[in-house]
Structure 1
Amino acid sequence: MTAVTSPSQGERAGVARQVLIALGLAGGPVVALGFTRFAYALLLPPMHQRLGWSYAQAGGMNTANAAGYILGAASAAYWARRLGDRAAFWWGLAVSALAIVATAASANFAALLAFRFAGGLTTAVTFVVGSALASRVAFGTRRPSALPIAVYMAGVGIGMVISGIVVPAALSAGDAGWRLGWLLMGAASVVALLPAWLGARHVPEPAGAQAAVLARRQLRRLAPTFAWYVLFGAGYVSYMTFAVALLRTQGLGSSATALFFIVLGVSSVVTTLAVWGHLAGRLRGGHAPALIAALVFAGVLPLLLMTPGTSSALLSAVVFGAGFMAGPTAATLIARRMLPPAGWTAGIALLTVAFSIGQAVGPLASGLLSDGDGGIARGLWLSAALLIVAAAAALFQREHAAS
């Protein structure tokens, strides 16, 4: 007798398949943000010390990365149209892995700037096109879910957990530890290529126009979200760049700062999957972005207002981690809801450009403030101020049907 599969069993099987595909795609954000962008916070203190940098130079490294990210996000729709989404996603990831390995090869400031710029460019292509692929994982099903997008974004936290374990171990090797840290993350990035390829090959290329040109009216409708994303990008990345350096100046050792980074990543993974994958899809207009910016703002405060120590650091990691990667989740969902399917890649790319502009300006401005009176804490107050303004800007976003 042939077994009859009930609809509920079929739906569960479909969801499981979507999760597996999204997990493969999550190799993109593991490398793009977890390694290339955020792990730099763990490597900044030893590179700052051993290479004789100022905090402005240290922040400039992330500004170079963000400048590349702007160019990559702006050109992502072009590469998707020219190569196809799957090829653009995978090749961007492959070149990103090479850029991470190359960062271990030189102590020259100009060369490192170039590698950070190149890594930013290719990871942006990977992240933007991967976001569009994740958006299409559940497309065409009876009830399209936000879960594949949340699983994809959880890759960032996974990358942070991996780097939080690998980098401190590498730094114990002594003066060359920062090089070993980049090298190990480069090796892990190469490993991520296989699941990323397997995930991408199960997402069909879109029918019709690959990356439609969006009408001005469609972009005007999203103006508050663009403003929020610039401010959010500047605020959150300043914290991500300098939080570990602040903890080190406050006397926390390498074990405590590594624990801080791991907790940050775990909090991001858990809340992205358990909370934001459902909540961000239900909140309409700019309510989800506003809530996210307010939560991330609250996560900065323990480092600035509480007595320095492990407790305040871990509280900050839990609260900040609970919200910071919900920003890209919310932005991707807004693009999916308010733009036609053919415009998703272009819409996500333009939103990511706005995000990247904030990420380029934030670390440099915070670094300049950190070099003055008040030290790194002064730079983090700028981060807090930008985040609360971002929350206010998001509230002006109204819901619009895709058209």
Structure 2
Amino acid sequence: MNTMVSTAGTARRSLGDVWIALGLSTGAAVSLGFSRFAYALLLPPMRASLHWSYVQAGGMNTANALGYVLGSVVAAWVSERLGIKRAFLATLALSGVVLLLTGFTADYGALMALRFTGGFATAITFIVGASLAAGVNASGAPQRAAIPLAIYITGVGSGVALSGIVVPPLLAHLGAGGWPAGWVALGAISIAALWPAVAATRAVPAQAARDERLLPWKEIAFLWPTFANYLLFAAGYVSYMTFIIVLIRNGGGGAGYVAAFWIVLGLSSVIGTLAWGRALAKLGIRWSSPVVAIVVLLGTLPVLLRPTVPAAFLSAIVFGTSFMAGPTAVTVIVRKLLRPPMWTAALAELTVAFAIGQAIGPLMSGVVSDATGSVSAGLWLSPVLLIAAAVAALFQRNREAA
């Protein structure tokens, strides 16, 4: 009888953890699914309507990534000053407001400033949200404790899929000049997402110890391969995410094709992120990040080698199932190698490297695309950078082997 009661109690707690993680995942949906990745859907009409070069187009994502760098630098400080829960909700609200405002200007400088501000806010949202999710069941068994984190990361894919449902039909109806409506729609959804986020944040258990503001230097030195991997991985995957829709549209893909591609990519990310959790546990500290980088690399190749509809959807599935496994793998590494009070600081400082990679990648890709007159040429940087990321990650040692 006692066993049955205990089992029922465990099941209720597990279900509660799932609901909390789902609520927190709205932060991941807004911070990356909308603010970062939905720009790829809005880039072709913005570029056509505002007469941008590829460098200018990539510069928008670079501004967003530079804001992400600054947000990453101060995330642990903001978390310590405001409290981790208030930091999460305040920056999530700011992210929604920035998305709304992006639809009300066509000035390049103003758009750059908004993309920078959005990057700053969403960096804090994503980092402290991951720390909150990692602490939902911090005292449980490692595999069970990793479930809320995996669910939190699936918010990115959910945001990608939802933006694919919302934005392309708007653009199909309004034309290239209707891109502001896309930003306004994403902003409105982000503001609405505050309701489940507030409920989930209230339910997250209080941390047993205060977050440390900075990661000790010896820990940074120990994690250098993970830092290098994360920077190169970000540069490689975000170049693909920034310009893949431009490649599809340049190849004659219409709104329906673009929407279907983006939705498949997003849903694949949701499914893949959940599936990767168990695989990463089996691969261990040394092999998880290299394997993820190689699979993401394989996902970029079909549409680059043969830009056909079947190749594009194969690319969407393979790339989609694996690209958010990179942050998942790094978060798992942090959780396994560091004490809980170090998690937010470690994730923040690793995200600085990640954001630097995200700033460099689109700009490099844009430069190559402008120089060659081919967006495909710029996208070939992605597999090169992902190979380098895989090699760097191989040098990460486990704590027992240090």
Which TM-score bucket, shorter chain as reference?
over 0.9
The SS at the match of 1:372 is: helix
Q: Provide the residue aligned with 1:35 in structure 2.
A: 34
Pair 1:202-2:179 in alignment = no
Give the drift of 1:4.
Answer: 7.1
1:1-400 equivalent positions in 2, closer than 5 A: 5-143=4-142, 144-171=144-171, 172-273=173-274, 275-306=275-306, 308-373=307-372, 375-400=374-399
CA distance in 1 between counterparts of 2:162 and 2:26 reads: 12
CA distances 1:81-133 after superposition (whole Å, capped 9, x unpaired) = 00000000000000000000010000000000000000000000000000000
Instruction: Give the residue type in structure 2 aligned to 1:13.
Output: R
CA distance in 2 between counterparts of 1:201 and 1:281 reads: 29
The answer to whether the 8 A contact 1:260-1:317 is kept is: yes
CA distances 1:155-186 after superposition (whole Å, capped 9, x unpaired) = 00000111001001111212432111001110
Instruction: Give the residue type in structure 2 aligned to 1:236.
Output: Y
Judge which range, 199-208 or 290-299, deviates more.
199-208
Give the drift of 1:191.
Answer: 0.9
Structure 2's unaligned 5+ residue stretches are none
Count of aligned pairs: 400
How large is the RMSD of aligned CA atoms in angstroms?
1.6
Give the drift of 1:279.
Answer: 1.7
CA gap 1:142/1:160 in 2 versus in 1, 3 angstroms: closer
CA distance in 2 between counterparts of 1:255 and 1:232 reads: 30
CA distance in 2 between counterparts of 1:91 and 1:281 reads: 33
The answer to whether the 8 A contact 1:340-1:402 is kept is: no
CA distance in 2 between counterparts of 1:194 and 1:278 reads: 31
Give the drift of 1:50.
Answer: 0.4
Instruction: Give the residue type in structure 2 aligned to 1:298.
Output: L
CA gap 1:212/1:68 in 2 versus in 1, 3 angstroms: closer
CA distances 1:33-85 after superposition (whole Å, capped 9, x unpaired) = 00000000000000000001001000000000000000001100000000000
Give the drift of 1:225.
Answer: 0.4
Instruction: Give the residue type in structure 2 aligned to 1:112.
Output: L
Instruction: Give the residue type in structure 1 aligned to 2:249.
Output: R
The answer to whether the 8 A contact 2:211-2:343 is kept is: no
Instruction: Give the residue type in structure 2 aligned to 1:392.
Output: V
The answer to whether the 8 A contact 1:252-1:309 is kept is: no
CA distance in 1 between counterparts of 2:400 and 2:106 reads: 51
Instruction: Give the residue type in structure 1 aligned to 2:346.
Output: G
Question: How does the TM-score come out when normalised to structure 1?
Answer: 0.96
Give the drift of 1:8.
Answer: 3.1
Structure 1's unaligned 5+ residue stretches are none
Judge which range, 317-326 or 135-144, deviates more.
135-144
CA gap 1:4/1:209 in 2 versus in 1, 3 angstroms: closer
CA distances 1:208-232 after superposition (whole Å, capped 9, x unpaired) = 3322532222111111000000000
CA distance in 1 between counterparts of 2:141 and 2:88 reads: 27
CA gap 1:282/1:105 in 2 versus in 1, 3 angstroms: same
CA gap 1:329/1:402 in 2 versus in 1, 3 angstroms: farther
Instruction: Give the residue type in structure 1 aligned to 2:264.
Output: V
